[in-house]
Amino acid sequence: MNARSARRVGDGSVILLRHGESTGNAADEFTGWRDVPLTRRGRAEARNAGQLLSRHGIRPDTVHTSVLARAIDTATLVLAQLDFSSQPRRASWRLNERHYGALQGQLKADVRAEVGHDTYLRWRRSYTGTPPPLAVSDPAHPARDQLYAAIPPDALPGTESLADVTRRLLPHWHDVIAADIAVGATPLVVAHGNSLRALVMHLDDLSPVEIEDLNLPTGIPLRYDLSHWRPRNPGGTYLDPAAAEAGITAVVAQDGT
């Protein structure tokens, strides 16, 4: 298939991978854009993800990550398992986790106890719920972080809903990741629970109500095979379904739902 026909029909595959467990995951806190490292377990999950890709004969042609260390380090560990350490990588803030505003760094259990279960779930799970924002003057606001110095300050959030994540992610999907697929490449996207939920919502054409119940485990590759830019396997295919189910159960238990 030449590049022109591939672009027309939108055939190809994309591999989605939520980073391995981070210290924020382990502490069960609202991590968001805080740049926390992987745990020992998270590094093992990343290596296992690379082994799963190898066993399934999947060798990504391109790699896309957020600019956060837990995603970048996961990608590095995955590629090392594939003996593919020099594979081209592109990092974008548009693949960052959802910004949780003033909740970042707080334990989820503490927030739930303070504001009540309904407000907690609206901030945590709904499509449009937005946590209290950080002021631009706050030292923790991304506009004050040199990592984002090249980004226009008015583009950087002080808080986000999942709808906001979707709006800032989709241009990167259309202009960068889908462009790889259009020329016959298989991209690996290593990102975060909410940025990948936003992408899955787009791929599977989920409603705002349906996306509330979607959870993604850490460290388990999820493969989408596309035709005309729509999944031939709606919901994608986990390369280790049993481990994915266990991981999803753990995510659900964190929210008390």
Active-site annotation, residues? 19, 97
Q: What is the largest CA-CA distance in the chain?
A: 57
**Extended beta strands in the chain, E state:** 12-18, 62-65, 89-91, 187-191, 222-227, 230-231, 237-238
228 assigned ligand-binding residue? no
Tokens of 119: 């407000």
| φ/ψ (deg, to 5) at 51 | -65, -40
Q: Is residue 117 marked as binding?
A: no
Residue whose token pair is 């739902």 = 257
* 124 annotated ligand-binding residue: yes
> Is 32 known as a binding-site position?
yes
Is 245 annotated in a binding site? The answer is no
The verdict on whether residue 19 carries a ligand-binding annotation is yes
194 is in an annotated binding site: yes
Describe the chain by its helix, strand, coil percentages, rounded to 5. Answer: 50, 15, 40
Helix (H, G, I), strand (E, B) or coil at 63: strand
197 is in an annotated binding site: no
Determine if residue 227 is labeled as part of a ligand binding site.
no
Number of Cβ within 10 Å of residue 58's Cβ equals 16
> Residue 98, annotated ligand binder?
yes
Query: Is 62 annotated among the ligand-binding residues?
Result: no
**CA separation (Å) from 242 to 9, 40, 239, 245, 246?**
33, 21, 9, 5, 6
Q: What is the DSSP string of 182-193?
A: HTT--EEEEE-H
Which residues participate in the annotated binding site? Answer: 18-25, 31-32, 70, 97-100, 108, 124-125, 193-194
Which residues participate in the annotated binding site for substrate? Answer: 18-25, 31-32, 70, 97-100, 108, 124-125, 193-194
